[in-house]
Structure 1
Amino acid sequence: MQKGLSLLILFFFLNVSLSCLFAMQKLSPLAPPPDWSKLDQFQETITKDEFVQLINTIYSPNGSFWRYTIINGNEVTIYSDIEHNELLYRLRLAPDSESQVPLKANWISNIKTRGEGPTETKPLKGFLICLDPGHIGGQWAKMEERYFQIGSDPPVIEAELNMNVCRRAAHFLEDAGAKVVWTKKNFEPVTELRPANLRADALALLFPFENQESLPDRFSDEIEKKILLTAERLFYRNAEIRARAEIVNRINPDLTICVHFNADKWSDHPTRKELVPQSKLVIFVNGNYSEEELVFDDQKWDLLYKLLSRTSVPEVEVSEAVSKEMEVVWNYPPENYNNWSTAYKIGKSPYVFARNLLANRIYHCPVVFVEGPYMNAVDAYDRIIAGDYDGNKNINGKSLKSIFVEYAEIITQGVISWATSKEGIVVQQ
């Protein structure tokens, strides 16, 4: 009896301790606690100079990352807090390039290790490419705020536009020899969670300093509306992307392409007169972690994993190759984010920016996040509502191919141009 009681007391305190430990974790919404031991594979795989250069030019150009770290010789110590009291991890840096441990997965030189390799007619043979059509669509499109309709025109549902592009791109990429996989092929969520499952998470976000167990079961109608809206956003902006990440990270493709259309701000009930005059284009790669984001330990881990696995090199190179095709085909200007700290200009192309999006952060492979023309721009709207089609169609007096075909061709040609330009990737005759 005494022994049983002792075990019960031990079990109780162990659970309390584990609960306290979990509560102490500074985690983003729905993020699992990071496994820091998974970074052990990167010990001594990077020199101090390269590590510092990648932090300062891509991942934390505002310097926020350094508030959580101490570099002492060839060791980087990462802390949870800026006071450096809560140790998270120690990373050993290579003393020099000669003693640097080779990466197990090198996205640059080892992309071409499958099968017979590329040929003149199959320049992407051996590549595994994942297509990630943005948003859910279907019955969820209005909840996602990715739906609008002008008068009696066909509705514009971004998830359907993205899917059209991916279907075309899959065909073109496969014709070029690539193996194509998807995060989703329909208009249903990948995640099994629904807004109703995320009420507790929504409450924790809305009332972070309250004892969650003491909160009432029901609030005023106004607060209940905020709770529902927060739970819905956690569903489609967070849980959905995390479910897709499980697919991507299990497959481990050479490259993931996130396909989206963009839009400019306008009213809740738009008319054709409100269409903006011109689209602008942008491609995002992972980086530019803000001070507010690096408060979270999981985002510190994500930054380090992306940096240490060197995904930035192919991400920037593929993005620049795709943006070059965009400029040639569409000739739309790049986005201008001079007054928006969330995006940071990197690389040579004016179209490529570093931004810490959930998808390009937690997908562990190289990720290119492409934003196509504005859905509500004069130069794209009529082509969008014309739908997808083969051949050419007369649109506003011009004979034009489907905008979805064009978008898919831009992506495919960009990837081919990048792949065939890489040193060490030999095209067989």
Structure 2
Amino acid sequence: MEATLKPRDTRETCDAIQWAAAEERPLEIVGSRSKEALGRPVQTAHVLDLSGLSGVVAYEPEELVLTVKAGTPIADVEQLVASRGQEFSFEPMDYGPLLGRPAGQGTVGGVLAANLSGPRRIKAGAARDHILGMEAVSGRGEVFNSGGKVVKNVTGYDLPRALCGSWGTLAVATTVTLKVNPAAETSATFVIEGLDDQNAVEAMCMAMGSSAEVSAAAHLPGGLDGERPRTLLRLEGFESSVNYRLESLGKTLSGFGKAADVGHEETTILWKDIRDCKPVASGTEPVWRLSVAPTAGAKLVAALRETFPLDAYYDWSGGLVWLKSLDGALWDGEIRQAVADCGGGHATLVRADASLRSTVSVFQPQATPLAALAKRLKQQFDPKGILNPGRMIVGV
């Protein structure tokens, strides 16, 4: 019989994990379940539901620091900081619509567990680069605190960075301290139409290497959204600066054809859609997230198009490829081989039904030395293997 444990604070979280460790009862760690369908299926008799750990602990806008409980909806927190003219610069994506869930349901703990980021990652980094500290409970049932409420903090081993992207398999965060930044006064998007994928990547890389301070670079191939191919470059800042940089970017990229630009409101909508994978979110076909060198993205997609029908678009100046398999097959072997042939990278199966996710490596298989290190880390944090067993790797 499945039992759901719903702690209200760190002490109750600790008690629940200590009981599970003593009884060797594996726990599925959940918040709002917005990303439950990402990763390998977890089969446990007990669920540790963190949605009760919700609320703002402290917000110091003048210090650019926010401390919240891990079960707090990220949408609520973004609304709070936006009311003070601030934002999370890493622009956390919302997996909900892609995974068949409502938008805006993710939690702060989920942001940490998945190390989320959006189009601005190429400039601002991912979630792990903006976490100042946390309180968490290990699989041993031990409470630990790491980091602090200051931007410069040296405490030895950086536990927040180790736990980011671990998908709840090492420890359960209960409270997280995040860095916030002032939001840009305005934004605009520089648009070039009609480029093929390879030329689009060249244009994006040239723009990123310019003095225009591009904060996001993406390419939507023709037919993907019912429009002509569009190469998109986002500029943010003071209005006078944005206008000057738009003009400068036009001169830099004049060899790629006629360009246009769109204003702040349309830019906000456009990049939210790119962030949350709207171009490939429809349907139920498998969706992959491929991370490669920016110059390799177009070559990777071209090689895979010769093998199976697909839709794809590019973010991070070509280094992040969102790919949907249109025939419903996984093509996991072919995809991972193509990534390796393009110089290496990571291939993550983001969307597929549970029966398919249980038969393949959802996350990029680790090289032997890295796998050994990950195993030792798991042994240190969760020796009984009770936290989200098998979520990332079979048997771990």
Structure 2 length-normalised TM: 0.27
Select the structure that is richer in helix: 1
Structure 1 length-normalised TM: 0.26
Select the structure that is richer in strand: 2
For CA contacts below 8 A with separation 6 or more, give which structure has more relative contact order. 1
